[in-house]
């Protein structure tokens, strides 16, 4: 599973000294011929966007979707670092142009790690020199690239699928500061399909809205969120399954992020059905998925429907609560806005008790108002998250 799964894609991951101890911390994904091909990206909407986001936005606008690759660093977010941070982000692109060819604006740059810490810009040029030597098209090269963008991640997040006449691969990082407002964390998606810049950007935007914009771990939007799509144009123009396969890879990566939540032990699928509109269903799903009380219930394996209804009411002030039902793991515990668990058979109670101990918990809320459905992924929250984040992290 790798960004190098599609034809025409190369990658590398090296230790540049941004992190201590020689860990992998600088990653590159680009095209095997070293030339510019189709690229698209979405970025955080935060008003505190990091320097790499500002530089990459400008580069994408300038090239109109023709890129040579993306350079990603981990260990330091280069966020809220002033003019020096801006210069460091520009240096990342300049080093790529110097050692990999082309112009500075043909490269996007990303960083992740601690916020507000001066960025070690002196590590970039030597690191890119190493990348130029280590570049490869095999799965190992893709795996090293995925490992090099990890911070508190416990594993490298990768995915791949084959479409009809094309392939899609991807890598991502993220375990906390996850409540996307456009994309999330860092992610690079790759394909060998031949698509226009317009289709690539449109497809990426749609996919992000369906996946990365529907996950939450702690309700915190990052300063550095970036999702990039690179298309090598090696193959033919794909049919309508292109967007679906891109969605499939992104969905796998999004799930990996939530399953790796800092201090987390469970994934919650908050599924709202019966919405009068997608917007209504999404508001309800987000409200429940973001609730600290609901997250605590997930941690305890407690099917506490009352907290769920409270969040639905807060998200949808006009809701008819008497039409709402709630099920945990397929077992209905609330119907018509009131408790119904006491009417369960002994077999259903035992099934619910057993299934509330599983790694994934599905909470389904039926609004009883229409046909629209939205699902948001969340995690439980526990002592591990507090230990990880009570200091600078």
Q: Token pair 């619910």 is at which residue?
A: 352
Instruction: Please give the pLDDT value at position 389.
Output: 76
Instruction: Please give the pLDDT value at position 156.
Output: 97
Per-residue pLDDT reduced to its tens digit, 93-134: 999 999 999 999 999 999 999 999 999 999 999 999 999 999
Q: Which of 63, 112, 152, 184 is catalytic?
A: 184
The backbone torsions φ and ψ at residue 313, rounded to the nearest 5 degrees and listed phi first, read -65, -35
**Domains annotated on the chain, with CATH:** 9-259 (3.60.70.12), 267-389 (3.10.20.340)
Per-residue pLDDT reduced to its tens digit, 63-74: 999 999 999 999
On whether 151 is known to bind a ligand per the annotation, the reply is yes
| SS3 category, 298 | helix
Instruction: Tell me the C-alpha distance between 364 and 374, whole Å.
Output: 10
184 counts as catalytic: yes
Asked if 32 and 137 touch (Cβ cutoff 8 Å), the reply is: yes
Beta strand 37-43 pairing with 226-231: antiparallel
On whether 280 is known to bind a ligand per the annotation, the reply is no
Per-residue pLDDT reduced to its tens digit, 32-67: 999 999 999 999 988 999 999 999 999 999 999 999
Mean of per-residue pLDDT scores for the chain? 94
Q: State the pTM of this model.
A: 0.94
Sign of the alpha-carbon torsion through 219, 214, 144, 17:
negative
**pLDDT for residue 10 is more than 80:** yes
Instruction: Please give the pLDDT value at position 183.
Output: 59
On whether 173 is known to bind a ligand per the annotation, the reply is yes
Stated as kind and residue range, the H or E segment containing 258 is helix 241-259
On whether 262 is known to bind a ligand per the annotation, the reply is yes
Which residues pair with residue 113 across a beta bridge?
75
| SS3 category, 171 | strand
**Which has the closest alpha carbon to 230: 246, 254, 211?**
246
On whether 252 is known to bind a ligand per the annotation, the reply is no
Per-residue pLDDT reduced to its tens digit, 202-258: 999 999 999 999 999 888 788 999 999 999 999 989 999 999 999 999 999 999 999
């Amino acid at each position: 599973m790798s960004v190098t799964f599609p034809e025409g894609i190369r990658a590398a991951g090296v230790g540049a000294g941004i992190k201590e101890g020689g860990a992998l911390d600088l990653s590159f994904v680009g095209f095997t011929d070293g030339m510019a091909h189709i690229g698209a990206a979405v970025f955080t909407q935060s008003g505190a966007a990091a320097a790499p986001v500002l530089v990459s936005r400008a580069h994408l606008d300038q090239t109109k979707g023709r890129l040579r690759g993306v350079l990603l660093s981990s260990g330091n977010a280069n966020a809220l670092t002033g003019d020096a941070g801006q210069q460091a982000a520009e240096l990342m692109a300049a080093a790529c142009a110097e050692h990999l060819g082309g112009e500075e604006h043909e490269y996007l740059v990303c960083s992740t790690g601690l916020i507000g810490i001066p960025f070690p810009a002196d590590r970039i040029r030597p690191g890119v020199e190493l990348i130029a030597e280590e570049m490869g098209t095999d799965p190992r090269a893709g795996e090293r690239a995925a490992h090099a963008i990890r911070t508190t991640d416990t594993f490298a997040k990768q995915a791949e699928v084959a479409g009809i006449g094309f392939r899609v691969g991807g890598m991502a990082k993220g375990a906390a500061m996850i409540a996307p407002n456009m994309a999330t964390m860092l992610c690079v998606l790759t394909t060998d399909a031949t698509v226009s810049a317009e289709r690539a950007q449109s497809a990426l935007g749609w996919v992000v809205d369906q996946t990365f914009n529907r996950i939450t771990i702690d309700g915190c939007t990052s300063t550095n969120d970036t999702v990039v799509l690179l298309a090598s144009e090696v193959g033919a123009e794909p049919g309508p399954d292109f967007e679906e396969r891109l969605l499939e890879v992104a969905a796998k990566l999004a799930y990996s992020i939530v399953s790796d939540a800092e201090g987390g032990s469970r994934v919650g699928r908050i599924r709202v059905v019966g919405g009068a509109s997608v917007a209504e269903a999404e508001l309800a799903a987000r409200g429940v998925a973001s609730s600290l009380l609901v997250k605590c219930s997930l941690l305890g394996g407690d099917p506490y429907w009352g907290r769920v209804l409270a969040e639905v009411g807060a998200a949808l002030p006009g809701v008819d609560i008497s039409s709402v039902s709630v099920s945990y793991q397929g077992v209905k515990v609330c119907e018509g806005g009131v408790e119904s668990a006491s009417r369960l058979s002994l077999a259903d109670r035992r099934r619910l008790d057993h299934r509330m101990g599983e790694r994934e918990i599905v909470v389904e809320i039926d609004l009883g108002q229409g046909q629209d459905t939205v699902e948001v992924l969340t995690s439980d929250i526990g002592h591990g998250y507090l230990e990880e984040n009570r200091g600078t992290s």
